[in-house]
Amino acid sequence: MGADFLDVSPEEMAKAMAELTAAPAVTVLGIGNVILQDEGFGVRALELLRETYDFPPEVQLIDGGTLGAELLSFITGTERLLVLDSINGGEAAGTLFRFENEAVMAHFQDKLSVHEVGIQDVLATLEVTGRPIPSVVVLGAQPYAVGAGVALTPAMAALLPEMERRALEELARWGIVPVKKVQRTSLCHTRVAEAGAADAAWNGMTADAPVGSAEDGPPASAAGRQASSPLARRITAQEMIARGGEG
């Protein structure tokens, strides 16, 4: 479908396409290997934020996993990048780290893990091509264990609330204030209560009815499933691979 058919100029079409493909102003990127215990800390921290908050449309949440150069198409053009990571900084297990701008590249020069090599190369590429991200912050923690396993160690998992707090603090500095979602447990309790009331009403109506006169079952509960409408872009590593294959 061309610009002539839509009755718009080529310049307007180009501008519209640029807006559609532009990266949001703020990117929260979780990186790490989730099958190596605490190596997946950055991804787990991202998941916590995604499950707990709704973000404005100018924010995208990316599960980067262990991807490297593939991230270029997703973060090129973003103005602020917050990276969540498991960081081997040579300190005691559980130590929390924060790097910003120049200190980020200084840290990643050590190439301490495969996924850190990837993000270092992405940032370096953007710098060389004249498209650097103006503001980059890395938050992370020293892992306790990096053996085979999909779960964080209990001690590392206990750091997630503090990482959540620090991530929100960084976003607030950038003028981003996510909205906390309604707790799922509260919604479940409401559904259970309403379903119980419906069952009780049905039992009251059919208590004296002869066998076989009742309907097949109680009426559906009035509690409808609430549709989730996240505002932030959420991109998984699998989606990145699929999109990379389209080109």
Amino acid letter at 179? V
Which residues sit opposite 141 in a β-bridge? Answer: 86, 96
Q: Model's pTM, two decimal places?
A: 0.69
pLDDT at 239: 53
Mean pLDDT of 60-69: 92
- DSSP for 117-142, written as a single string: HHHHHHHHHHHHTT---SEEEEEEE-
What is the Cα–Cα distance from 197 to 166, expressed in whole angstroms?
Answer: 43
Which residues sit opposite 138 in a β-bridge? Answer: 83, 99
134: left (phi over 0), alpha (psi -120 to 50) or beta: alpha
pLDDT greater than 90 at residue 12 = no
The full length of the chain comes to: 247
- Closest-CA residue to 193 (of 223, 220, 235): 223
Question: Residue for token digits 């949440």?
Answer: 61
β-pair type (80-86, 26-31): parallel
Candidate from 172-181, 220-229, 233-242 with smallest mean pLDDT: 220-229
Burial of 182 (0-12, 13-18, 19+ CB in 10 A): exposed
Question: Residue for token digits 């004249």?
Answer: 130
Query: In what helix (H) or strand (E) does residue 86 lie, and over which residues does it extend?
Result: strand 80-86
- Closest-CA residue to 12 (of 22, 2, 23): 2
Grouping H, G, I as helix, E, B as strand and the rest as coil, residue 231 is: coil
Identify the residue with better confidence: 237 or 135: 135
- 111 CB-near residues (< 8 Å, 6+ apart): 117, 120
pLDDT at 88: 87
Whether 170 contacts 56, CB under 8 Å: no
Q: How confident is the model at residue 32 (pLDDT cuts 50, 70, 90)?
A: very high
